[in-house]
Amino acid sequence: MSRNMLGGAINKMAATSLTLRGLLIGALGAALVALSAGAASAQVALWTGASSSDWTNGSNWSTGTAPVAGQTVNIGGAGATRPDTVLGIGGPSVVSIGAINVGQVAGVSGALTIQNGSRLTSTSIARLAIVAGSSGTVTVTGSGSQWNIPAGTFYVGFQGTGTLNIENGGQVTTGSNTILGGGAASSGTLNIGSGGTLQTLSLRGGPGASQANFDDGILRASAANATFINGFSGTELNLLSGGLTIDTAGFAVGTDATSGFSGVGGLTVTGGGVFSLLASSIYTGETQIDFGSSLTLSGAGAIANSSRVVADGIFNVSAATTPTIQSLAGSGSVLLGAQTLTITNANDTFGGVIGGTGGLTVSGGNQALSGVNTYTGATAVSGGRLAVNGSITSPVTTSGTGILGGIGTIFGDVTNAGVVAPGNSIGTLTIAGNYTGSGGVLEIETILGGDASPSDRLVVTGNTAGTTDVTVTNLGGGGAQTVEGIKIIDVGGISAGNFSLLGDYVFEGDQAVVGGAYAYRLYQGGVSTPADGDWYLRSTELDAAGVAIGPIYAPGVPVYEAYAGVLQSLNQFGTLRQRTGGWMLDGDRSEDQDGNTAATGIQTRIGGVRSHFEPESSTTGTDYEVSSWTLQAGVDGMLRESEAGALIGGINFHMNTASADISSRFGKGDIDTTGYGFDGTLTWYGKSGFYIDTQAAVTWYDSDLKSSTLQTSLADGNDGLGYGFSVEAGQKIALTSQWSLTPQAQLAYSSVRFDSFTDAFGADVSLDDGDSLTGRLGISADFDSDWKDASGKTSHSTVYGIANLYYDFLDGSEVDVSGTSVVSENQALWGGLGLGGSLSWADERYAAHGEAFASTSLKDFGDSNTIGAKIGFSVKW
């Protein structure tokens, strides 16, 4: 019965009796109250979960039917069989209700899941955990799954503990504010991940505890709001690895001064509007500003810990107190205003435009600018590297370890107290202004070669002043003889700056840098244009008239040039007399008292030689001195004997060492070599005094090469090989019973090799020719004595002198140093004298011998010379 019907009945009965009218009014009022109470109870649906978790199953609700439009829904009440409610178990469901409360009784939890593209609209208030001690959780998950709350404030944790999960593309949309932790003792947690979206007028941290976690979550504005995010502090806005996207939806939104972001994730601003950050944030992930969108830092707003800013939209720091970022990328714009932006740990290229009257400071990392930048404030590079690959309209100062580089143009003056390094490897940096060196360094990378070598270049269209040190890094250049030189500094105005090379060593008073086989010094002015004011690297010496007089070779080249000669000094063959002391050169062998002759024996020899060489032809004008020692031990024995003579064969092990000092005006160094090998001998001794002696040997070498000029090792443990053979023949001519002459001739071939190597400066070194063919003509004069000791055994002594002529038929050695050939050819004709002797006893079973010798080149007599001695001992049986 309606109120209108009751009113009409009362009015019709009014004329009959006031008392009756009063009684009717009382009775009908009581009935109205009862009817109203029943209607109100029908508008509330309480979740019981009697049958399942399915929202759409009416048996799970107190009303016996699933909730309908306008009906209030309570989930999480006392007596529910199961606390969890799921909308969308069998597929997408679309439901509209009135108010909803999830978690309404202390100590009882309530849970709602919206899934599988289902849509729930609650047209009135929505609250999670409405009383103290209650717990309410709502999860919206899956693409197309939505919870729409068009009116009223949405509370996550009204008085209890509330949790809202939006994930896997799910979306929650509110028409008003979203508050986490609405009561002083409440707690509200928001988790948005995997593409989930919360669209709201604002996200607010309430009086209670609040926590928002974002892991690939989206927070979308529904209207302009300067405090779109507010009421948070500390780490309550937590960016997990997936980060947060702020979708401005075209509006201007922002934070209050305390709501800063933290965590390991990143922040993306999109939607074509403006997001203003007023709070200091400590998150470490990337900051992305999409095209058409803007991120503004205001006041204490800061993102200094963010790994990088990718500004494809607008990055506005004009209102920030101390704008600082780690790295800058993107192709949008940076608005400085009058502020200075500091970049602390860069590793990016920014291709957009930095504008304003403010400046830029780079203190670490590697920041590149490839756009046309218009800011006019000062640029300071105090650490790290700034590469200007586009242009800037700013004065630049470098200091400390700061490096200014790139291939672009600086429309401003540059003061260098740090480092200027043109190029991004090899390239040209242009200063369309003046350059002043303030004790800084100019770093040049080049491929050292001829005039046209690729090289960094600093172009200054204005004037130069002050002092600057120059370092040169050779990027694998093999060197070449220059003419004009390699231009590294081009000065358009007054060239008053002083540029000083910091080289690898000092050559004749000037710093020089090594490039392959050559050394380069820094000169102001071209050879053909001496007044041009430009600066060049040259590997050519000029006379006073500016005429080239020859190349400047690197300090290691004399060492490489002499290397084969040092090995050859160890690879030479001695004479038969030096090896054996002349045993059997007298003819018959001695017999002992039993008629036995010595046929087999062991022998050991040691020799030392000191040689000085001043080659007749040397690319670098190198002299070298070699001190060597040789130890040899082996056995020999009779292979055949006849009335005509005897054939003796032997095999020996040898070890030798050499220490060489190399000297040239281009540099000094030393070589230390150790060799081990074997040699074999075969000798025919004729009864007539004629003999033929053959030798063959192979030796493995290990060498260390050093440059004392450069004070560095050039090669350690370089392997080499030497081999050769020798043929010697002679005829003993008796003059008296004791005196004789022995004319002799010897031809010896020797070849040495060493492994190719790359030295400490990148020069490739290899041997092209290391062969020698030496002929010797000699004659010895011998005085022999024989006697018997007290036991009747024969002793024999010989004293001799020998004169020799030597001639080398080949052209010396040739070494390739990074494509440049260097040769060394010693004097071909030498003369030598030797004095020696031998003593045998006990019927020649024991013998000792020795020879001292000296030789010299006959041209430029005495300039090249050798002096040495060899001694030996043998036992035969």
The DSSP code sequence of 22-69 is HHHHHHHHHHHHHHHHHHHHHTEEEB--SS-SBTT-GGGBTTSS---T
Please report the pLDDT score of residue 653 as a whole number: 98
In a domain, 78, yes or no: yes
pLDDT over 90 at 28, yes or no: no
Q: How far apart are CA 194 and CA 156, in angstroms?
A: 20
In a domain, 232, yes or no: no
Mean pLDDT estimate for the chain: 93
pLDDT over 80 at 258, yes or no: yes
pLDDT mean over 634-655: 94
Residues 678 and 781 in one domain: yes
In a domain, 379, yes or no: no
Please report the pLDDT score of residue 584 as a whole number: 58
In a domain, 165, yes or no: yes
Helix (H) or strand (E) holding 502: none
Please report the pLDDT score of residue 843 as a whole number: 85
Q: Which residue has the tokens 């000169």?
A: 523
Q: How far apart are CA 605 and CA 630, in angstroms?
A: 8
Please report the pLDDT score of residue 379 as a whole number: 99
pLDDT over 90 at 22, yes or no: no
Please report the pLDDT score of residue 583 as a whole number: 60
pLDDT mean over 550-571: 97
pLDDT mean over 399-404: 98
pLDDT mean over 320-340: 99
Residues 85 and 10 in one domain: no
Question: What are the pLDDT digits (tens) for 72-104?
Answer: 999 998 888 888 999 999 899 999 999 999 999
Please report the pLDDT score of residue 585 as a whole number: 52
pLDDT over 70 at 32, yes or no: no
pLDDT over 50 at 364, yes or no: yes
Out of 150-164, 276-290, 596-610, 662-676, which region has the weakest mean confidence (pLDDT)? Answer: 596-610
The rounded percent of the chain whose pLDDT value lies above 90 is: 90
Q: How far apart are CA 201 and CA 183, in angstroms?
A: 20
Please report the pLDDT score of residue 80 as a whole number: 85
Residues 719 and 730 in one domain: yes
Which of 182, 198, 222 is the endpoint of a domain? 222
Indicate the burial class of 100 (C-beta count within 10 angstroms; 0-12, 13-18, 19 or more): buried
pLDDT band of 167, cuts 50, 70, 90: very high
> Strand 414-416 vs strand 428-431: parallel, antiparallel, or unpaired?
unpaired
Please report the pLDDT score of residue 791 as a whole number: 86
Q: How far apart are CA 558 and CA 376, in angstroms?
A: 55
Please report the pLDDT score of residue 559 as a whole number: 98
Residues 640 and 780 in one domain: yes
Question: What are the pLDDT digits (tens) for 770-781?
Answer: 999 999 999 999
Residues with Cβ within 8 Å of residue 48, at least 6 apart in sequence: 60, 61, 62, 79, 80, 81
pLDDT band of 66, cuts 50, 70, 90: very high
Helix (H) or strand (E) holding 556: helix 556-570
pLDDT over 80 at 33, yes or no: no
In a domain, 751, yes or no: yes
Q: What 8-state DSSP symbol labels residue 73? A: E
What angle is formed at CA 368 by the lines to CA 363 and CA 371, rounded to 5 degrees?
130
Residues with Cβ within 8 Å of residue 175, at least 6 apart in sequence: 149, 150, 151, 152, 201, 222
In a domain, 169, yes or no: yes
Question: What are the pLDDT digits (tens) for 438-481?
Answer: 999 999 999 999 999 999 999 999 999 999 999 999 999 999 99
Helix (H) or strand (E) holding 160: none
Out of 17-21, 58-62, 125-129, 776-780, which region has the weakest mean confidence (pLDDT)? Answer: 17-21
Please report the pLDDT score of residue 9 as a whole number: 37
Give me the amino acid identity at 674. Answer: T
Residues in the chain: 877
Q: What HEC string does 749-788 produce? A: EEEEEECCEECCCCCEEEEEECEEEEEEEEEEEEEEEEEE
Which of 294, 164, 161, 278 has the alpha carbon at shortest distance from 231? 278
Question: What are the pLDDT digits (tens) for 525-540?
Answer: 999 999 999 999 999 9
Quickly list H helices, 197-346: none
Residues 156 and 19 in one domain: no
Please report the pLDDT score of residue 649 as a whole number: 95
Q: Which residue has the tokens 């030479």?
A: 572
Residues 621 and 572 in one domain: yes
Question: What are the pLDDT digits (tens) for 299-327?
Answer: 999 999 999 999 999 999 999 999 999 99
Tokens of 822: 């260097």
* Domain of residue 765, CATH code: 2.40.128.130
Q: How far apart are CA 400 and CA 415, in angstroms?
A: 12
Residues 613 and 715 in one domain: yes
Which of 197, 222, 247 is the endpoint of a domain? 222
822-850 burial, b for 16+ CB within 10 Å, e for fewer?
bbbbbbbebebebebbbbbbbbbbbbebb
Please report the pLDDT score of residue 776 as a whole number: 98
Residues 36 and 81 in one domain: no
Give me the amino acid identity at 824. Answer: S
Residues 812 and 850 in one domain: yes
Q: How far apart are CA 874 and CA 852, in angstroms?
A: 19
DSSP characters over 678-727: EEEEEEEEETTSEEEEEEEEEEEEEEEEEETTTTEEEEEEEEEEEEEEEE
In a domain, 199, yes or no: yes
Residues 77 and 38 in one domain: no
Q: How far apart are CA 218 and CA 198, in angstroms?
A: 6
In a domain, 252, yes or no: no
Residues 38 and 172 in one domain: no
pLDDT mean over 785-797: 90
Please report the pLDDT score of residue 547 as a whole number: 84
Q: How far apart are CA 208 and CA 37, in angstroms?
A: 35
138-155 burial, b for 16+ CB within 10 Å, e for fewer?
bbbbbeebbbbbeebbbb
Indicate the burial class of 698 (C-beta count within 10 angstroms; 0-12, 13-18, 19 or more): middle
The beta-strand segments (E) located in 484-560 are 486-491, 498-501, 505-507, 510-515, 518-524, 535-538, 540-542, 548-551
Q: What HEC string does 409-454 produce? A: EECCCEEECCEEEEECCCCEEEECCCEEEEEEEEEEEECCCCCCCC
Q: How far apart are CA 313 and CA 289, in angstroms?
A: 5
Please report the pLDDT score of residue 586 as a whole number: 46
Residues 97 and 31 in one domain: no
Which of 222, 244, 260 is the endpoint of a domain? 222
Please report the pLDDT score of residue 123 as a whole number: 96
Model confidence, pTM? 0.84
> What total of structural domains would you count in the chain?
3
Please report the pLDDT score of residue 7 as a whole number: 38
Q: Containing domain of residue 568, as a range?
A: 556-876
Please report the pLDDT score of residue 309 as a whole number: 99
